[in-house]
Amino acid sequence: MNCPNCNTPNEPGNTFCENCGHSLAAPSQNPAQVTGGQYLGIITVRLVVAVLGLWIIRSLLSGLSFIEGLHIPDTSMTGVSIVNALAYLVVIILLVGYARDLGQHWPQAFPTYPELGSLLVALVYTGILAAIYAGLRPFLVEFLPDREVLLIIQVLLAFFVLIIVFRAAYIAYQGLSPWLTRLVGGFKSPTPGTEPIEQGSTE
């Protein structure tokens, strides 16, 4: 079937157009139906709003006198550090869901650049690892008497981040040639119905 948006031929089982990402599903009575690209935009804005709202709530809770003055006996843990850890936990949950949706819907929404989706997912998982460490660090410092253990955890997290990022960069590098080919081909494709004009002498 041909895409109703760009008229590109697609396989019968495709849900989204291979060229522009437009939905190929039959029109329904549901006015809330969106394309893959629109869905990614919606969940991205929703994530940003949720994180900003969460940080505002964290700031408000940390400013409460009974939380700000809370100290756990025989430790350096405070009410503020606990609130921060809970905020990071919620951020981790949000980022994991966003990474799952991004990896699932990006190839359908942008089939021309699927490798870029892998790179974006890798960046999201890097943020997840950073949030995990930021949330756990006060507890690790407090309850791990051996600082070498904390150093080992830092090295392992750095190792995982390098693996994730370099793997995604390699996938993006493999897709670089097709990107350039499509880009150059788009510049060189002649306009239908036009032919080169040869200039000659007039008699």
Q: What is the pLDDT of residues 146-177, one digit of tens each?
A: 778 888 888 999 999 999 989 888 887 877 76
pLDDT at position 125, please?
Answer: 93
Contact 15, 8 (CB under 8 A): no
Going by C-beta distance under 8 Å and a sequence separation of 6 or more, which residues neighbour residue 13?
A: none
Q: What is the pLDDT of residues 53-68, one digit of tens each?
A: 999 999 999 889 888 8
* Angle formed by the axes of helices 36-62 and 79-109, nearest 10°: 170
Q: What percent of the chain clears pLDDT 90, i.e. is strictly above it?
A: 33
pLDDT class for 131, splitting at 50, 70, 90?
A: very high
Instruction: Please spell the DSSP secondary structure of 15-84, one letter per residue.
Output: SB-TTT--B-SPP-S-TT---HHHHHHHHHHHHHHHHHHHHHHHHHHHTSHHHHT-B-TTSS-BHHHHHH
- Look at 75 and 39; give whichever has higher pLDDT: 39
Q: What percent of the chain clears pLDDT 70, i.e. is strictly above it?
A: 82
Mean of pLDDT values over 61-79: 86
- Whether this prediction's pTM lies above 0.95 is answered by no
CA 185 to CA 67: how far, in whole Å? 62
pLDDT at position 47, please?
Answer: 95
pLDDT at position 191, please?
Answer: 52
Contact 180, 188 (CB under 8 A): no
Return mean pLDDT, the chain: 81
Q: What is the pLDDT of residues 25-51, one digit of tens each?
A: 665 444 456 787 889 999 999 999 999
Question: Can you read off the two tokens belonging to residue 34?
Answer: 């969106």
